[in-house]
Structure 1
Amino acid sequence: MARYPEEPRLSLPPDLVEELTAELPSVADAAVAAIIAEVPTYANALSGPMGEVIRDAVALALGGFVQLGARGDRRSDRPAAASMDGAYQLGRGEARSGRSMEALLAAYRVGSRVSWRQMAVGLVGAGVDSATVAAYAELVFAYMDQLSDQSATGHRDETNESGRARQRMLDALARALVEGQTPEAVAPLASRAEWEPPETLTAVLVPEAQGSALLGLIAPSSLLVDDPASRSQRSVLLVPDAHRSVLLRAVAGHGAVVGPTRPWLEVRASYERARRALSVERESRSATLDTEAHLADLVVTADPDALRDLREQVLAPLAGMSGSTREKLVETLRAWLLHQGRRDAVAATLFVHPQTVRYRMGQLREAYGEELDDPEFVRRATIALG
């Protein structure tokens, strides 16, 4: 029966371990130089305090290389706890520095290649046989894979935590803006959230289920928060420096109510108008309502109780008439006001003969007398019935 050669033990002589350990600083320098040359993201990063952290991490990893050979046990190839913790903290630090996980893993690949090449020269020079060198290389790169995985975990954890923390700060900023808090309270929130204040903001009310989808369509720097007045039935989008026609196209078909554009610290006024516009009739629930196109409706309905009282005052002279007669005269009075007394236009609007309009206007003059010629009454009646 054929026998396969046993895998060589990775037991390096103590004097060789000591020699390799002494070379670690120069090997670390070579690895760092290669990272600077081959990974552009690190070109300037290694000159400051973070550079020392990375050099220390490289030296710690290289020390683990040497200990692999010193232990002489192929099963003991897991990095020491200190190395694993150092790799994890390195990943978190790189995320805080704004460098991507891809850049970090590229640095690992480059550093591993250069470090092994430097160390292999020492092993071959010391007469270590090729099979042992090959086996050692296999363990070294497996070791580096574990370290890089640990750094990737640290990077991911930091990114997730910082992302959640920033989102909480953006939510707090959006709430403060919608609530109309003072500039002294809002500005620090924007700074902590790393949100660049725009010139203007536009408040857009949307159904809660549509908020996240529209956030991605409109502008990445928009803010999204639950409408504090709707018990989570709606969301509020605060859109920076919006081009109105583009914004209206983006929210078309989503049942949005688009408020006016205001300076960013005054966006509560935009939100409040959008809230008032919820009472304006729309063609359908999915239709977009542009508050700028309904300013007259919003002015007239700003105080519903006052409008109801005004209507009662204006129509008081018709109170004693029968229901059908009163309804026809109210329709005629409204058309007469809107068409500025042009009988043919009034007749066309009401689909009646001009003589019918003359007859009804006679009834109205009998009820109102000279008030129909009073500009103040005409103004009040137009608001009440318009």
Structure 2
Amino acid sequence: MAHAPQPLDLTQAQAEALRERLPRVGEKVVAAVVAEVPSYSVAFQGRMGRAIEGAVALALAGFLDMAVDAADRPEQVFAAAYELGRGEARSGRTMDALTSAYRIGTACAWREMSRTAVELGMPAEGLVRFAELVFDYLDQLSAVSVAGHTDELARTGHLRERHRAQLAVALLAGREEERLAQLAEQAEWPPPSTLTAVLLPQASTRTVRVQLDPRTLEVAGDAEALEAWPDHAVMLAVGRSRPALLRTLEGVPAVVGPTVPWTAAATSFARALRALDLGLEGDTDTHLAALVVGADAAAREDLRAHVLAPLAELREGQREKLTETLRAWLLHQGRRDDIAAALFVHPQTIRYRMGQLREAYAERLEDPAFVRDATIALC
């Protein structure tokens, strides 16, 4: 284990002389940082600039205290370094600029203070210990600032993710627009123009998520909205055109709701969930008819029974053949040859069956309302 550098063997006069030079050293440190770290040129202006200059002076004074007495660790300085790291995280900056500022400031401070030390007659051995102390101090300050930066990122990251999860749940629930806007602001989530609900197995979310806009929101299957599908998740996809989103999901057993204004995400989710309940997959825009007729399964069964009532007294085999013939007649708009081809029977067989259907339904086969109901019920 490396040992901490020993304190400097300074006389009281030397220590006082170094301390008198600190304000001038601080000015040069600030000037060097402003000149060589562009991202801090604005930060050192105005009230904030004066506060930072004060922090530099505090750091220099703390260093000199520690240089004279290694046991005198300037806790106030290290607390300030920790808060500086947190502030960088809150500003959205990485540690790169602060690390550069520390390096440049330390080099400048070392030049100024070592020059003074030489003027005060410090021997070569003392200068070596002086350099060790300066750069050990730099390492300590940097480490404390990195810790503050890391802790703040973790805290704000967890908080932001929690707020975004709350926003996602509110979107799926169809909350009022004003409330959604408040939650979006709280979550630091710039609202997009549109959202698209995507339902997919939780096992596929990680692979898909990395290909989507970072603003994409996600709700896992343990949420109340997905109670019936606990192994699934819903993503509210942002920022991609619909064709691009569908290409991203190729090979994934996903259900994609319509693309809607972001505050109407609940409608996209509802349609995707209904499609999943019906066993459909892929783009719900290609399943609109199935979604419509499957919206109320019990009502459709009642309609089917009503449409097929005239065939109820027939034998089961005959009833099934006439039902499939009626369905093909509806789909092919009465074209006998097309109906025969679809059912793999001779056109004469179709002619015979249609005779039976006309006998059972009479003029209803010409009634547009019946044709509509039969199409919905059978097709």
Taking structure 1 as the reference length, what is the TM-score of the superposition? 0.92
Partner secondary structure for residue 46 of structure 1 = coil
Distance in structure 2 (CA, Å) of the matches to 1:313 and 1:117: 97
1:141 is matched by which residue type in structure 2? Answer: F
Distance 1:339 1:9, change over 3 A: closer
Q: Distance in 2 between matches of 1:33 and 1:99?
A: 21
Coordinate RMSD, CA, aligned: 1.7
Q: Which amino acid in the other structure matches residue 315 of structure 1?
A: L
Checking the alignment, whether the CA contact within 8 Å between 1:77 and 1:143 is kept in structure 2 is no
Contact 2:63 2:74 in 1 (8 A): no
Deviation at 1:209, TM superposition (A): 2.2
Name the structure 1 match of 2:364.
371
Residue 25 of structure 2: aligned partner: 27
- Verify: 1:63 aligned to 2:61, yes or no: yes
Kindly indicate whether residue 178 of structure 2 is the aligned counterpart of residue 184 of structure 1: yes
Contact kept, 8 Å, 1:11 with 1:70, in 2: the verdict is: yes
Q: Give me the identity figure in percent.
A: 50
Q: Identify the match of residue 44 of structure 2 among 37, 43, 46.
A: 46
Which residue identity lines up with residue 116 of structure 2 in the other structure?
G
1:19-71 CA deviation, whole Å, 9 max, x = no partner? 21122122111111111111121121111443334323322221132223422
Instruction: Quote how far apart the aligned CAs of 1:303 are.
Output: 1.0
Q: Deviations over 1:86-113 (max 9, x none)?
A: 2111211222222211111111101100
Aligned to 1:263: 261
Q: Distance in 2 between matches of 1:77 and 1:50?
A: 32
- Deviation of 1:14 after TM superposition, in Å, equals 0.9
The answer on whether the counterparts of 2:7 and 2:68 sit within 8 Å (CA) in structure 1 is no
AA in 1 matched with 2:241: H
| Aligned position for 2:336 | 343
- Distance 1:370-1:269 versus aligned 2 partners, 3 A rule: same
In the TM superposition, what are the counterparts of 1:64-143 in structure 2 within 5 Å? 64-71=62-69, 76=70, 79-143=73-137
Q: CA deviation at 1:251?
A: 1.1
Alpha-carbon contact 2:29-2:108 (below 8 Å) kept: yes
Deviation by residue 1:223-261 (Cα, 9 ceiling, x = unmatched): 111253323322111122431110000111111111111
1:375 and 1:353 mapped to 2: Cα distance?
Answer: 28
1:164 partnered with 2:164: no
Aligned length: 371
Q: Secondary structure at the match of 1:103?
A: helix
Q: Which runs of 5+ in 2 are unaligned?
A: none
Q: Which residue of structure 1 aligns with residue 240 of structure 2?
A: 242
Displacement of 1:150:
0.6
2:171 and 2:279 map into 1 onto residues whose CA distance is 27
Runs of 4+ in 1 over 6 A off after TM superposition: none
Distance of aligned partners of 1:160 and 1:53 in 2 relative to their CA distance in 1, 3 Å threshold: farther
Over residues 141-193 of structure 1, what are the superposed CA-to-partner deviations in whole Å (9 max), with x where a residue is unaligned?
Answer: 11210111011101111111111111111111111111100011110111121
Give the Cα separation in 2 of the matches to 1:15 and 1:66.
13
SS in 2 for 1:262: strand
1:230 aligns with 2:223: no
Alpha carbons 2:213, 2:239 under 8 Å: kept: no
Give the TM-score taking structure 2 as reference length: 0.94
